[in-house]
Amino acid sequence: MTNPPSEPPPPTVDEPIAADTLPVRIAAAEAMRRLNHAMVAHETDPELLQRIAREANATAAIVEAGARRQRPIRQMKTQLWQTTPEEGQRLAHFEECMVSGRANPMGIAMQPRRQGDRIVADVNFGAAFEGAPKRAHGGAVAAVMDDIMGYVLLLTATPAFTGRLSISYRAPTPVQTDLVASAWMDRRDGRKVFLVGDLRTAEGDLIAEADALFVAIPRERLT
Ligand SMILES: CCCCC/C=C\C/C=C\C/C=C\C/C=C\CCCC(=O)SCCNC(=O)CCNC(=O)[C@H](O)C(C)(C)COP(=O)(O)OP(=O)(O)OC[C@H]1O[C@@H](n2cnc3c(N)ncnc32)[C@H](O)[C@@H]1OP(=O)(O)O
């Protein structure tokens, strides 16, 4: 018995989302995040759940027939480090990031911006991010702090990977509540970049503190 000839790999697109399709990608991702959180937070008839499964699977099959995409690394190696973010500028290292990408259908969709030497982000953990009862999952909090600290690297154009990340959970992280994450550089020692940050309520009460060691890398290692 012979195996059928294998299909040639589908063409791969290594480009950032085109400006004209970005708004519709974001809108589709937003709608899916809304549905995800709604399914967790609301009672739903079994018939409706069956319809969701049927329609989602049918839609997924259409999407999967499209050309494959991959993370636009070329752009990350070049453009991302060319300009320093301006005060108040909304930042996105790539729009499908699971933490800060607006176009990720299952992401947290944190909204980071520059504020002086810091990065500050509005974040609201939807119902699907609950871990312990009524609290956002600690791993989701860690992901937020990792990502926001990564944005601090843009202020000094220093590509780096997280080597160590430590979180102190000082108070429960409420879900479905507007929160504010912040991060800034503590110090640098050669390739070792020490970053710190915190997560607070909108009123400024401390929820979590983070500190991390990022290790600077040459851009070529972003593969
Ligand atoms: C998801 C995006 C990822 C891309 C991020 C890149 C750039 C940022 C981009 C945009 C900014 C915007 C948003 C932020 C985006 C994302 C933020 C999240 C970032 C991540 O989510 S990133 C993924 C998780 N991360 C990894 O996937 C790392 C796996 N790992 C390695 O790739 C290597 O392990 C590495 C590179 C860490 C070091 O390797 P290496 O060979 O280059 O360097 P080496 O080992 O020689 O260490 C040099 C000196 O650092 C000390 N050192 C090293 N590691 C240490 C540790 N863990 N604890 C304590 N000290 C440590 C040594 O002790 C030595 O110190 P000394 O010189 O004093 O001896």
pLDDT digits (tens, 9 = 90+) for 42-75: 999 999 999 999 999 999 999 999 988 877 777 7
Q: Where are the alpha helices (DSSP H) in the chain?
A: 22-41, 46-64, 73-77, 138-155
- Looking at per-residue pLDDT, the higher value among 75 and 121 belongs to 121
Q: Is 144 in the pocket of ligand 1 (CB under 6 A)?
A: no
* Residue in the structure block whose two tokens are 């550089």: 185
Q: How confident is the model at residue 12 (pLDDT cuts 50, 70, 90)?
A: low
Which tokens sit at 21? 């399709």
Using the mean position of ligand 1's atoms as its centre, give its distance from the Cα of residue 108 in Å. Answer: 23
Q: How far apart are CA 128 and CA 38, in angstroms?
A: 8
Residues of the chain above pLDDT 90, percent: 76
Q: How confident is the model at residue 13 (pLDDT cuts 50, 70, 90)?
A: low
> What are residue 192's DSSP bridge partners?
189, 215
Q: What is the mean pLDDT of residues 102-110?
A: 96
Q: State yes or no: pLDDT of 11 exceeds 70.
A: no
Could you tell me the domains of the chain? 12-69 (no CATH), 73-221 (3.10.129.10)
Q: How confident is the model at residue 20 (pLDDT cuts 50, 70, 90)?
A: confident
* Residue in the structure block whose two tokens are 């909090």: 141
Q: Is 162 in the pocket of ligand 1 (CB under 6 A)?
A: yes
User: Torsions phi, psi of 11, nearest 5?
Assistant: -60, 145
- Looking at per-residue pLDDT, the higher value among 68 and 205 belongs to 205
Tell me, what DSSP letter sits at residue 10?
Answer: P
Using the mean position of ligand 1's atoms as its centre, give its distance from the Cα of residue 17 in Å. Answer: 27
Q: How far apart are the first and last CA of the chain?
A: 39
Nearest CA to ligand 1 atom 39: 215
Which tokens sit at 18? 């085109």
Which tokens sit at 59? 């839609």
What pLDDT is recorded for position 1? 46
Using the mean position of ligand 1's atoms as its centre, give its distance from the Cα of residue 162 in Å. Answer: 4
* Side chain identity at residue 204, one-letter code: G
What pLDDT is recorded for position 42? 98
Which tokens sit at 96? 């499908």
Q: How confident is the model at residue 14 (pLDDT cuts 50, 70, 90)?
A: low
Q: How confident is the model at residue 212 (pLDDT cuts 50, 70, 90)?
A: very high
Which tokens sit at 117? 């030497």
- Looking at per-residue pLDDT, the higher value among 119 and 67 belongs to 119
